[in-house]
Structure 1
Amino acid sequence: MTAFTDGQIDAPKRPWYKRIFGSGGPVIPVVRLQGVISQELKPGRLNIASVAPLLEKAFKFKKAPVIAIIVNSPGGSAVQSRLIAQRIRQLADQHEKKVLVFVEDAAASGGYFIATAGDEIIADPSSLVGSIGVIMASFGFVDAIARLGIDRRLYTAGKNKSTLDPFLPEKPEDIERIKQMELDIHDVFIDYVKSRRASKITLPDDEIYTGEFWTAKRGLGMGLVDGLGDLHGTLRERFGKDVTIKSIAPKRGLLQLPNFGLSARGDIAGDVIAKIEDREIWSRLGL
């Protein structure tokens, strides 16, 4: 399945004589990574399972001067973000290709993690970038069930098995343990960004790795992005007006529709919940 189907780039077909004799500008494959990053195989979600086949197809364009990747994501799963970024670099090294990343609305948190896998990051001046931090959220319903007169019964083996249970009071030791997990994950994020952009970032650690996000216009001076612009303009400027942009997107067929936006019967409620969760993550950026 895939988690991104909107806004695909449709490249105009070259004249027949150019297609036959191989004349004309270069063909550059483009992979769009749009949506919340999650291990769930649901519409609008990005993960290594949905992304890897598209990346592998793009890197098979042997004559392509570069591989272009569009990132439009507010973040999500730390693990899936790292797996996707890692796969991009593996393929880039294997095929000896440069990767240009183009940011649309946002490359924030896990979206920025993926963006840093590019050799260059180019964004619209109003794009949101950064948010190099970790967040975990939950709800507490202890007072609610007490007011309703509900007596909850929970049985566990292992003293910490009930951590994050929303119907139990928070325990200081649970909060401390969760905070340490966040710090561990944050360290992985910071180390990866440094491995890719340490020579470009101009601000000290305590100003750049705070979880804050900025417009790309400001991020350019901070070293978070390498340039301001858009995909079409940048590729035409660098590779000529005859450049052909080839969208690498999943094939859509009648039998594939349940995986590309239409839920299988019985899973509609799950998709509605997923969309609400996605909306909440995007809203953290004001988008």
Structure 2
Amino acid sequence: MATFGDFPPQQNTSTTSEKDKADLQWERQTLRDIAFAAIREQRNSRRWGYVFKGLILLYLFAFLFLMMPGGSTESAGKPHTALVEISGLISADSEANADRIVTGIRNAFDSTQAKALILRLNTPGGSPVQSGIINDEIRRLRSTRPDFPVYAVIQDICASGGYYIAVAADEIYADKASIVGSIGVRMDSFGFTEAIDKLGIERRSLTAGENKAFLDPFKPLQPNDIDHANAMLQTIHQQFIDVVIDGRGERINANNSELFSGLFWSGEQSLELGLIDGLASSSQVARDKVGAEEIIDYTPRPNYLDRFAGTLGASIGSTLRNTANWSLQ
């Protein structure tokens, strides 16, 4: 049979077409994923840039702010009243520590334009050692410059070690509602003997020296420990009493045992008891007693730049961790 030409057998082209379409779809998806990955990478890079630029800008602003002239001693070239603030718990590791407070007091005494010193107290007390160091140094400095009066001005509270410091001043003033006093000494502890028995815990303590486990909270109180602790507290209490009597003189009735019992009183009651000399604020004392109304703060302040740098370092670390987390999301 004659034919117009030979044709190959008819093939199923649908299968080939589906495969081509699948390959093309995969290629497009791959290109799309690569493109989106590049975009995400660019966004992350920009985010990092914004973070670092913002932190640098914040650091510069903070640095300029901290370097701006403060108001503490900028006007020290003219007559003024010096002020040293004693605030918070008095202890070696707090801002109200002897080294810091004494430095401010010495600077005030060294100033030729300072006419007097105000100790502004707002403290519940604290370490008898730190308070004693400050008291001793005030008394020593007063002897070197008798014409330089020292006034203690109480704000909300001046108790225990705070009052130990205040009595070194020539005069003490407070608000009528201030809390003043607490001339006493205390030692606190806890006892866990019954808790140990109930929980079935065995206490193991090895010591060399019969009193090395003195007032061990995991053992019952021993009479000898109590006697020794009481004797020590009485000695420190008597030191406190002697300092108060020496500082206040005849302004208090030393025979009034309640004054040294650890009680505290309002400023109004303290005036009647002779614990303070009057009711006045720092500005009133500067104006009416010193005659130099401008008050300049001589209190040594913490190095805020170092503290800011430490805080900034922690902030950067936290920001970097958060940024890394963002890039993984």
Q: Report the TM range for the smaller structure's normalisation.
A: 0.7 to 0.9
Deviation for aligned residue 1:95: 2.7
CA shift digits 1:134-154 (9 cap, x unpaired): 111101111112222211110
Q: Residues 142 and 212 (structure 1 numbering): CA distance in 2 closer, same or farther, change over 3 Å?
A: same
Q: Which residue of 2 aligns with 1:51?
A: 101
Which of 68, 82, 97 is the equivalent residue of 2:132?
82
Give matches, 1:103-122, under 5 Å.
Answer: 103-122=154-173
Q: Which residue in the other structure is 1:34 paired with?
A: 87
TM-score between the two structures when normalised by the length of structure 2 = 0.68
Structure 2 residue aligned with 1:127:
178
Match runs of 1:83-102 below 5 Å:
83-96=133-146, 97-102=148-153
Query: Are the structure 2 counterparts of residues 65 and 180 from structure 1 closer, same or farther at C-alpha, using a change threshold of 3 Å?
Result: same
Distance, in Å, in 2 between the alignment partners of 1:12 and 1:80 is 26
In the superposition, relative to structure 1, how do residues 239 and 159 fare at CA in structure 2: closer, same or farther (>3 Å)? Answer: closer
Report the counterpart of residue 184 of structure 1 in structure 2.
Answer: 235
* 1:69 matched to 2:122: no
Question: 1:228 Cα deviation (Å)?
Answer: 0.3
Q: Distance in 2 between matches of 1:174 and 1:238?
A: 50
Matches within 5 A, 1:214-225: 214-225=265-276
Cα distance in structure 1, aligned partners of 2:247 and 2:99: 24
Deviation at 1:203, TM superposition (A): 5.8
Q: CA deviation at 1:206?
A: 1.5
> Does the CA contact (< 8 Å) of 2:271 and 2:277 recur in 1?
yes
- Secondary structure in 2 matching 1:136: coil
Please say if 1:236 is aligned against 2:287. Answer: yes
Give the alignment partner of residue 204 of structure 1, picking from 255, 259, 266.
255
Query: What secondary structure does 2:172 align onto?
Result: strand
Q: Deviations over 1:61-99 (max 9, x none)?
A: 123221111011111111111111111111222233210
How many Å separate the matches in 2 of 1:179 and 1:116? 25
Provide the C-alpha distance between the structure 1 equivalents of 2:154 and 2:273, rounded to a whole number of angstroms: 16
CA distance in 1 between counterparts of 2:165 and 2:90 reads: 10
Structure number with larger C-alpha Rg: 2
Aligned to 2:35: none
Q: Percent identity?
A: 38
Partner of residue 275, structure 1: none
| Displacement after TM superposition at 1:255 (Å) | 1.4
Aligned position for 2:212: 161
Structure 2 spans left out of the alignment, 5+ residues? 1-69, 315-329
Taking the aligned partners of 1:72 and 1:111, their CA distance within structure 2 comes to 8
Match for 1:245: what amino acid? Answer: I
State the superposition RMSD in angstroms: 2.5
**1:52 touches 1:87 (CA, 8 Å); kept in 2?**
yes
Residue 127 of structure 1, CA deviation: 0.7
| CA–CA separation in structure 1 for the residues paired with 2:289 and 2:127 | 34
The alignment partner of 1:121 has SS state of strand
